Amino acid sequence: MYLERQLNKLKRALLFVLLLASFEGLAANSIDSIRVWPAPENTRVVFDLDKQPKYKYFSLSAPHRLVIDFENSKRNVNLANIGKNDPRIKKIRTSKSKKTGTTRLVLELNASYKTSVFPLAPAGQYGHRLVIDLYDKQKKSYTAAKSPKQKQDIVIGIDAGHGGEDPGSIGYRGNYEKNVTLAIAKRLKKLIDKEKGLKGELIRSGDYYIHVNDRSKIARKKNVDFLVSIHADAFHTPQPSGGSVWLVTNRRVESELSRWLVNREKNSELLGGGGSVIKNTNDDNLAITIADMNKEYSLEVSHGVASSVISRMRKITKMHKKTPQNGNFAVLKASDIPSVLVETGFISNHQEERNLVNPKHQQKLAKAMFDGIRSYFLNNPPAGSHYASIAVKKHTVSRGESLSVLAQRYNVSVSKLKQANNLRSNTVKIGQTLKIPRAD
């Protein structure tokens, strides 16, 4: 009898273990966090999971909802305030699924959106993810095409590197490159918008992800004349420091630093996800092929602006490279848009990380970029632009002439004369050729 009782206890214990194992098998995965990234034309929702997700989803209308079933999963995140301020999501809540062990989440939506759902493998600091992109069906219209009869602004596209899912490089103190680049980009836009004849257009205006291939498309829609992409450098050791300015090239990347930076751009796509997969298949190749005819012009402008920006940056920060560098960067590959990539410093360097998050240093960097861009286009204004209408005349300095005398003669200010000629003092030499901007 005693032996029978012991066997029954053992059977019950074994049954309990089997039931526990079965329950754990049903809840083999867990939803650990949910992140919402609103952008001008879309919202991205990211579910962070312990393991690769098994999921199904479907849409409902009246009211609009997106329902996601996570199989063999449990939820470890509070849904109370997630997506609270998003323009497309009313709320995220749970619902019951008929299938045991399945976690059902419902996105209550403000309208009907083009939806894309895809998993992402672990990359960088992220583990397994399920991504939902909600795209507006009616896209925002951008600035109308320019009329050659009017004096037009030169439109400068300002691309803050990384964003959203993709933090870029992370400094020793935990600062994200994506935050540094956006802060500098916004400062640069303010400087540009204050200048008559220039207009700034942010490619990324908030903390959201844009695939590198889509950045030039956005620039093109905004009728950008020139694109500057802002980054904060990184290396696998903390020693390298200083800024650099890069141009696109299709040649084999030769330097170790170039290879590192290009690979970093590719890695950032893994962090941000399958942005190129979820787009419409509209073919832009024809426009790009036609634009290739302007490639030489684009490279000439890009090199000119790069050199001009470097000459200003070296006054306020160490330059890792003192001449324009070449790299095979996707963000610079739109041959119809002259462009440069500015590495503002190494966030992997402890001292430069402190500088890059300092608002005063950010302003100095933005001012250096602005001065370099402004100077180049003052001296090389596009036809039909306001800058072309105040295009420079040339004057050779004679004995007895000074900047103040020339300023009075040509009805321009001394400061404009200095800016047009990149002069740091009021001193001029006999025989020196000066560019004279027209009066406004």
pLDDT digits (tens, 9 = 90+) for 388-435: 887 667 888 888 888 888 888 888 888 888 887 888 888 888 888 888
The pLDDT of 261-267, averaged and rounded, is 63
One DSSP character per residue, 220-276 reads HHTT-SEEEEEEEE--SSS----BEEEEE--SPP-SHHHHHHHHHHHHHHHHH--TT
CATH 3.40.630.40 applies to domain 154-276+284-379? yes
Q: Mean pLDDT across the stretch 211-217?
A: 86
Q: CATH: 3.40.50.300, 3.40.50.2300, 2.130.10.30, 2.60.40.3500. Which one for 25-135? A: 2.60.40.3500
Q: Where are the domains of the chain?
A: 25-135, 154-276+284-379, 392-436
Give the residue-averaged pLDDT of 270-286: 46
Helix, strand, or coil here: 300? helix
If one compares 141 and 189, the residue with the highest pLDDT of the two is 189
- With 60 as the cut, is the pLDDT of residue 23 above it? no
Contacts 24+ apart (CB under 8 A), 374-382: 374/195, 374/198, 374/419, 375/308, 375/312, 375/419, 375/422, 376/301, 376/304, 376/305, 376/308, 377/154, 377/198, 377/226, 378/419, 378/420, 378/437, 379/420, 379/435, 380/301, 380/304, 381/154, 382/154, 382/225
Residue 253 in this model has a pLDDT that exceeds 50: no
pLDDT digits (tens, 9 = 90+) for 91-117: 999 999 988 899 999 999 999 999 999
Range in 20-34, 287-301, 397-411 with the lowest mean pLDDT: 287-301
pLDDT of residue 389: 81
pLDDT-derived band at 282, boundaries 50, 70, 90 = very low
The secondary structure element, H or E, covering residue 299 is helix 295-313
The pTM of the full predicted model, rounded to 2 decimals, is 0.74
Say which DSSP state 145 is in. Answer: P
Closest residue by Cα to residue 374 from 359, 360, 386: 386
Contacts 24+ apart (CB under 8 A), 97-104: 97/69, 99/69, 99/71, 100/26, 101/26, 101/27, 101/71, 101/72, 101/73, 102/69, 102/70, 102/71, 102/72, 102/73, 103/31, 103/69, 103/70, 103/73, 103/74, 103/75, 104/67, 104/68, 104/69, 104/70
The pLDDT of residue 317: 95
For the chain, what is the mean pLDDT?
Answer: 83
**What is the model's pLDDT at position 112?**
95
CATH topology of domain 392-436: Membrane-bound Lytic Murein Transglycosylase D; Chain A (3.10.350)
Query: With contact defined as beta carbons under 8 Å apart, do 345 and 352 qualify?
Result: yes
- Which pLDDT tens digit goes with each residue over 150-184? 568 999 999 999 999 899 999 989 999 999 999 99
